[in-house]
């Protein structure tokens, strides 16, 4: 029965929730669905080999987890062992995509170690059941398993926990 329900959900376009301890289903963003800022395809299975932090952000909520971003910058984690990805939920805002894409190109130049990705059709909301119109944080271990997830603003204690978790898994 469980397999039938999962199959039905997949066929209707709904995905499987990202779960701590598991590798989420593969997601590909290309063409009309989205892509990296440079236009190349982005695939979630690249979230392996290093500890990755993924920010999935509604542009209207982009400052919600600035404290975490600043804390990460201060830590200077070894980029051979740690990577960051910012996926921007373009469908979650009133702002025109042309303006957002221009801003993202500037961000990519300013922060070349972060991979910036555009999600034009809420693909990760649908496939991974991420929170829409929010600022979501997901951390992956070197094997691509989710080791932490939070939808919304992190508290100071949660930021400390995130930093310790990243350090532990490097």
Q: Residue 71 falls within a domain, yes or no?
A: yes
Report the run of H or E that residue 29 belongs to, with start and end. Answer: strand 28-29
Q: Which of 55, 73, 68 lies closest to 155, judged by CA?
A: 68
CA distances from 92 to 21, 60, 108, 162 (A): 28, 8, 20, 26
Q: Residue 127 falls within a domain, yes or no?
A: yes
Query: Helices H, strands E: what count in the chain?
Result: 5, 8
CB 170 within 8 A of CB 163: no
Which residues form the domain of 155? Answer: 17-169
Q: Residue 49 falls within a domain, yes or no?
A: yes
Q: Residue 82 falls within a domain, yes or no?
A: yes
Give, for all 170 residues of the chain, the pLDDT tens digit: 544 444 444 433 456 789 999 999 999 999 999 999 999 999 999 999 999 999 999 999 989 999 999 999 999 999 999 999 999 999 998 887 788 888 888 888 878 899 999 999 999 999 999 999 999 999 999 999 999 999 999 999 999 999 999 999 99
Q: Residue 5 falls within a domain, yes or no?
A: no
Q: Residue 8 falls within a domain, yes or no?
A: no
Residue 68: CATH number of its domain: 3.40.30.10
Q: Of all residues in the chain, what percent are helix, strand and coil, respectively (each to 5)?
A: 40, 25, 40
Q: Which of 89, 155, 154, 96 lies closest to 128, judged by CA?
A: 89
pTM score: 0.88
Q: Residue 101 falls within a domain, yes or no?
A: yes
Residue 88 three-state SS:
strand
Residue 161 three-state SS:
helix
pLDDT value at residue 11: 39
Number of domains in the chain: 1
């Amino acid at each position: 029965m469980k397999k039938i329900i999962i199959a039905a959900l997949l066929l209707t376009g709904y995905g499987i929730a990202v779960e701590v301890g598991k590798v989420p289903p593969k997601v590909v963003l290309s063409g009309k669905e989205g892509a990296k800022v440079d236009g190349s395809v982005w695939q979630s299975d690249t979230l392996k080999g290093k500890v990755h932090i993924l920010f999935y952000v509604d542009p209207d909520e982009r400052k919600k987890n600035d404290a975490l971003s600043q804390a990460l910058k201060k830590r200077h984690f070894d980029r051979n062992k740690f990577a960051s990805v910012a996926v921007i939920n373009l469908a979650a805002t009133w702002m025109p995509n042309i303006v957002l894409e221009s801003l993202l190109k500037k961000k990519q130049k300013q922060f070349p170690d972060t991979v910036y990705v555009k999600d034009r059709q809420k693909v990760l909301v649908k496939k991974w059941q991420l929170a829409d119109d929010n600022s979501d944080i997901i951390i992956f271990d070197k094997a691509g398993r989710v080791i932490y997830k939070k939808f919304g603003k992190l508290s100071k204690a949660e930021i400390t926990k995130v930093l310790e978790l990243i350090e532990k898994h490097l």
